[in-house]
Amino acid sequence: MKTRTQGNVRHLIDTIDFTKEELLSLFETIRMLKEFDMQGAVPKILKDATLAMIFEEPSTRTRVSFETAMTDLGGHALYLKPGEIHFGSHEAIKDTARILSSMCHGIMLRTKEHEGILKLCEYASVPVFNAMTYYNHPTQGICDFFTMSEHLPEGKKLEDIHVVFVRDSREDTGIMSKETGHMCAALGLRYTVCSPKKYSMSEKEQKKIRDKMQITGGTLTVTDQVDEAVADADFIVPDVWTYYGYEEEEADRMASFMPKYQLNMDMLRRAPKHCKALHCLPANREVEITSEVLDHPTRSIVFQEAENRLHTQRGLLAWYLYPRMREADQTLVRYNEGKLRSFLDTKLK
């Protein structure tokens, strides 16, 4: 049985805040738990712990991976969605943060506004997991680069790879372009963003990434030239071209991205033979990525990446929750059980 501890709390907000050493240690934790899963022997280190999962946006991989990971580690997760709780509507975020912190060991939030995750973290006294805002997606970014670490080109180390993002990298919609950049910055990698000029990464975001890279040794290139971007790419990361709330831009987006920025076999042939394709999913087949690439037996690692969301969530939950928990005194547990049973047996006859 586990009980909560109070005191200093660390939240998962933005991967650019990690050091390279922390990320490599986290990758090793994920790798270890993945190995344990293959053995059918994941340790129940979060026995009796509870994770509150707040979803203001729909999800497949994030919900299933967090809920399954929590169960695998011996805890359980609560799925909370708008209309079922008062989060941010009939109740202030700071009040929800305090209440959930008093009842749960951790809080996971998927929301549109990045300000929402910052406010939740400000008032929560348990770890908060950013499960995607319209600014970034830390759990996906960590998963993606863990997956890359499993599929490194022969003769290359993780710090040697060149990661190329092909899609919209605009401030308000380029979620995965920023997330991929934050991971490259934290790890000190070479990163190229390839987008049409009108959908290119903002100067503000470029500065944030480059400032971190000055410390870690990474490099950032922003271009609209696909051939130049993928010529020596080790991994190509696309993303959807349209998203909820941007339906009025769909025609312009399709005209801007198709066919030049579609991840198809022609693009892969212009990259080195070892280059692998990723995609955070859900994917629009034959739009930003073709089925031929998505389902390719050697060039695609998309579904390995998707499976790794589960292993990544296990690692994150272990990292953030386990250090804050302590084993209950079993002698005291047995004593309290006897005391309660005796009281109830007497009073409820």
Q: What is the pLDDT of residues 36-46, one digit of tens each?
A: 999 999 999 99
Q: Is 275's pLDDT higher than 90?
A: yes
Task: Say yes or no: 54 and 95 in one domain.
Answer: yes
Confidence of residue 242 (pLDDT cuts 50, 70, 90): confident
Domain that holds residue 159: 152-300
pLDDT at 4: 42
Task: Say yes or no: 311 and 245 in one domain.
Answer: no
DSSP conformation letters of 162-215: EEEEES---TTT-HHHHHHHHHHHHHT-EEEEE--GGGPPPHHHHHHHHHHHHH
Q: Is residue 341 part of a domain?
A: no
- Across the chain, what does the average pLDDT equal? 94
Say if residues 240 and 282 touch (Cβ distance below 8 Å): yes
Q: Is residue 36 part of a domain?
A: yes
221: its two tokens: 């290139």
Q: What is the pLDDT of residues 118-144, one digit of tens each?
A: 999 999 999 999 999 999 999 999 999
Q: Is 343's pLDDT higher than 90?
A: yes
pLDDT at 6: 44
Q: Is 222's pLDDT higher than 70?
A: yes
Rounded to an integer, what distance in angstroms lies between the CA atom of residue 19 and that of residue 321?
Answer: 19
Work out how many domains the chain is built from and give that number: 2
Within 10 Å of residue 270's Cβ, how many Cβ atoms? 15
What's the CATH number where 81 sits?
A: 3.40.50.1370
